[in-house]
């Protein structure tokens, strides 16, 4: 890999997923694609390049670091979504969109999905359209745009396919992210926060993470997960999520056998909020949650996706297994 003497942008999180092979699509399929240049021309007006300045405190003096990322205009009055890690701790934010440069300020953060909302003083901006997850298929063509490596000359465009849906990854910082879109469209530092769009120019994901030790593996926050987060950040400046009061891990056959759980899949309760909703409802460490309102929860990703569809105050009927026996309880969700 060639190295450039450019300022180092904040690193895109490094996923620790399992590598899988990717294969180039048949040449014949290329003939049926619409002109990528037309897609790029249509979406570029609402794709932002973001530059940030962050101050780190030293023993004797403070140090300034410069970085870069990307963003997506989501409201004509100047709301721009990007990744949380792009602007975390930033003292100064510049947003470059459609040939203009604006000062940006953070108005909302969500570290659960790694999303952040920036406000710039602008009006009548072109805005992105978001696709429905129901329309996504593995193998579908996608286009990625972003401020890759903060190179001079404008946005970088790459093309690939959707390699997988519903991916779970753990970054090098130890944080888990769920229900991600996997693509083989090339991304680099600075691509974070940029759009992954389909051939209709609709956002199917917000670029988030890459796997450095693998070729052609990048991940994006799904549009389905991003839209309600963006709307909540605009309205409240934060994301209002329900709190069930426990954390969990996936049950595997090996774990089930070792601890004699009596069930081969589900969410193993590994920590409880003291006097939280789950604790008050009778859930205890070592229980395995298998259903919520009759819907199976075979793993953490499915469980969280289902949980975040509820609202604060909702009552949820939870099925769980303890000592190989099935039981149920009702949990009233609090606010996270």
Helix, coil or strand: residue 229 = helix
Which one of 192, 222, 256, 301 is the catalytic residue? 192
Which one of 51, 110, 114, 225 is the catalytic residue? 114
Tokens linked to 138? 């593995």
Minimal CA–CA distance to 208: which of 45, 21, 65, 15?
Answer: 15
Within 8 A by CB and 6+ apart from 259, the residues are 286
Residue with tokens 């926050």: 221
Catalytic residue check, 96: no
Bridge partners (DSSP) of residue 93 are 52, 104
Within 8 A by CB and 6+ apart from 194, the residues are 47, 69, 70, 71, 72, 144, 145, 146, 147, 155, 206, 207
Catalytic residue check, 192: yes
Which one of 49, 51, 70, 85 is the catalytic residue? 85
CA distance 122 to 98: 11
CB atoms within 10 A of CB 66: 14
CA distance 164 to 162: 6
User: Could you please report the per-residue DSSP string of 10-59?
Assistant: PPPPBB-PPP----PPPHHHHTTSPPHHHHHHHHGGGEEEEEEEEEEE-S
Within 8 A by CB and 6+ apart from 92, the residues are 52, 53, 103
Separation of CA 66 from chain center? 23
Residues carrying an active site annotation = 85, 114, 192
């Amino acid at each position: 890999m060639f190295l450039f003497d450019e300022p180092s942008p904040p690193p895109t999180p490094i996923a620790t997923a399992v590598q899988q092979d990717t294969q180039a699509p048949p040449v014949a399929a290329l003939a049926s694609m619409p002109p990528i240049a037309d897609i790029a021309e249509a979406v570029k007006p609402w794709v932002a390049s973001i530059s940030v300045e962050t101050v780190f405190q030293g023993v004797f003096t403070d140090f300034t670091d410069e970085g870069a990322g990307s963003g997506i205009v989501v409201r004509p009055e100047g709301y721009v979504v990007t990744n949380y890690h792009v602007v975390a701790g930033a003292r100064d934010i510049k947003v470059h969109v459609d040939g203009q440069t604006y000062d940006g300020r953070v108005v909302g953060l969500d570290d659960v999905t790694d999303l952040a909302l920036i406000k710039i003083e602008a009006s009548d901006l072109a805005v992105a359209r978001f696709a429905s997850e129901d329309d996504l298929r593995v193998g579908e063509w996608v286009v990625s745009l972003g401020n890759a490596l903060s190179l001079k000359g404008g946005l970088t465009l790459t093309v690939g396919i959707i390699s997988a849906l519903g991916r779970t990854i753990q970054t090098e910082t130890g944080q888990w992210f769920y229900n991600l879109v996997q693509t083989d469209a090339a991304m680099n530092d600075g691509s974070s926060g940029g759009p992954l769009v389909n051939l209709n120019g609709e956002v199917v994901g917000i670029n988030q993470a890459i796997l450095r030790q693998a070729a052609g593996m990048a991940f994006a926050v799904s549009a389905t997960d991003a839209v309600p987060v963006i709307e909540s950040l605009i309205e409240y400046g934060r994301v209002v999520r329900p709190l069930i009061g426990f954390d969990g891990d996936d049950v595997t056959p090996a774990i089930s056998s070792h601890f004699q759980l009596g069930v081969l899949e589900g969410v193993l309760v590994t920590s409880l909020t003291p006097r939280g909703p789950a604790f008050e409802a009778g859930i205890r460490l070592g229980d395995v949650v298998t259903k919520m309102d009759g819907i199976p929860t075979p793993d953490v990703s499915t469980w969280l996706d289902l949980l975040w569809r509820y609202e604060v105050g909702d009552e949820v009927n939870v099925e769980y297994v303890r000592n190989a026996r099935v039981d149920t309880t009702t949990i009233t969700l609090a606010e996270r």
